[in-house]
Structure 1
Amino acid sequence: MLRLLAAAFVFALACQARAEVLVGVAGPMTGKLAWTGTQLKRGAEMAVAQINSAGGVLGQQVRLVVADDYCDPQQAVAAAKKLVADGAVFVIGHYCSGASIPASEVYEEAGVLQISPSSTNPSLTDQGRANVFRVCSRDDAQGLVAGNYLADHWGEKKIAVLHDNTTYGKGLADETKKQLNRRGVTEAIYQSYAPGKDDYSAEIAALQAAEIAVLYLGGYHTETALMVRAARDRAYSVQVISGDDTATEAFGLIAGPAAEGTLFTFVADPRRNAEAAEVVERFRAENFEPDSWTLHSYGAAQVWVQAVAKAGSLELEHVIAALRQNQFDTVLGRIDFDEKGDLTVQAWVWYVWRNGEYVPLE
């Protein structure tokens, strides 16, 4: 009898274990991009809570596992291996392209679905890994928009294109430069800068001496904010333009009043979507503003849970088929994917920092 009870107890534990689905979220939870990592984490947490309150996935509750990759390629691989070892069947992440790309190999080998909320470098999906998707647009489309804008508005001025040598930063700068050059405009300066410094006054002084009128920065918001501050400290009115990582409150906090007038490209702010209104209010009720990529993290989870429901299975091949064959209603609007795992509609729009917040450029 005791053996039967023990066996029944073990069986019950096994059933309980199988009744829980593990989902990972990976990004820079510490370091200079921790603000953004928190946005991704909060988006995933809210999504998982809503999924569970609605009955879970295929009758099973979802548990979120968080992994810190520090926006570093090697640590991203370690984080991916940890999530795989934990038993995650799906990962929301990573934030940085330089983290997502090496991690994607780990997920492919382990049969884990990866949907990045924010990695924009084309290489992520150009690799052809069937398990990789993203709910953001690509940098070749972002660079096209940025290059055209530079050519249209400052084609006769001295333009500098700087990047931080990261997969994201250099990739975006190169795509922008490529389109600028296609338009017949040659930049006066193209070079890299060292990320992670506390002061960029020397770099800004060199640009001022070269009479640069427009500075395009391919990199992350911390360095962009410090360069804007350094320029304003010198009463240097260079127009600073950057990419989507500038869409975060952290940029405004670091740059302070110097943020005013900074231009950048970003996807259409999902906080303004009617589909996101209820979720946005939920965040704000918790005294949390879902700026930057929070709703993209939430949207990635929405896509996954809908795909699983359509597939009727958690098996990767069935979920991938559902992702490729259907449209999904999310806080980001209705989306679908092409054969690479990219959004079929690539959209970038212009924003400007005004009075301590970023607003659409009119």
Structure 2
Amino acid sequence: MRIESINRVKTDEILAKNILTNEGQVLLRSGVRLNQLYIDKLKKLGVFYVYIYDDRLDDIGVEDEKLMELKQSAIKSMNGIIKNIHSCNGKEFKKSLYNVENLIDYIIDNADVNSSLYDIQTYDNYTFVHCLDTCIMSTFLGITCKYNQFDIKKLGMAGILHDIGKIEIPIEILNKNGKLTNDEFAEMKKHPTYGVKLLKKIVLIPDSVIKAVGQHHERVDGKGYPCGLVSHQISNFAKIICICDVYDAVSNDRCYRKKFSPNDAYELILAGSGTSFDEDTVENFKNTFSVYPLGCCVRLSDGVEGYVVRQNKGFPDRPVVRVLYDINTHNPVPFYEVNLMKNTNIVITKVAN
């Protein structure tokens, strides 16, 4: 399958991966043949990319249905998690977290990072989706860091809860379409502290989770908030969640700005190593996540377009690209592959859209 810009999708092409609503419900199921009505509707809903079946790329993995099911259950649990934190109902809160824990367990035992992070969703409820994405990324990064299963579950829990303090922030500040005033930004910067206060009321939540929630906006050079902590004062969980939070945030559209390109989002993390972000954690990030997802169409510096079919571990911006057609005529060609690790004079210049 391939990832295709909605503007490049043709009628009668077949959807290869489910499209979700913000509540985790299936909006369009894989296997549907797309018509113009579906395509126009997806555009209106803000879906910019879809996965399309393509037998020339049939070696790119199909959807992990079990993982998708667990993600949907986790998203649906978010309302219960927030409700029970607000009411300080520890027993019901634990029940609400059950689906999240099942998702983390599955990732530890079965999930492939290259096929786990790139769902196609409508983003009406950005906060829920962002918290889930941060949880999933943090879990994969915890695996790379060789944490044991108990610590990974606590790390994932901190990821899903990292922005819980935002429920105390006025909605007009959270959803403001434009730059925050100094006073509004000062209020926004309190959400880690609000999160700590809320979570301390639930006796079942480990201290390591609460500390990570309170510190996820701290920076190793001391220029973060709310306390201006420096590297050795920041928990390892917080250092991981900090990176995953920033990367996911800039990779998605927000009401006040457009998302970064994949390469720009990745470079933001790498450029912050040693200042904003812990150096060892950035190195683990680099060895865990790739810039361009499998099936993504990219333009190369020699003018050729192709689709990412394999990753080169440790070199996130230099995958293997399969060329399927002539860029000028768009006629199919006998496909061939360009390994950017071997063709060092060629680079990816953009994601084709």
TM-score by length of 2: 0.30
User: Which of structures 1 and 2 has the larger relative contact order (alpha carbons within 8 angstroms, sep 6+)?
Assistant: 1
**Structure with the higher strand share, 1 or 2:** 1
**Structure with the higher helix share, 1 or 2:** 1
TM-score by length of 1: 0.30
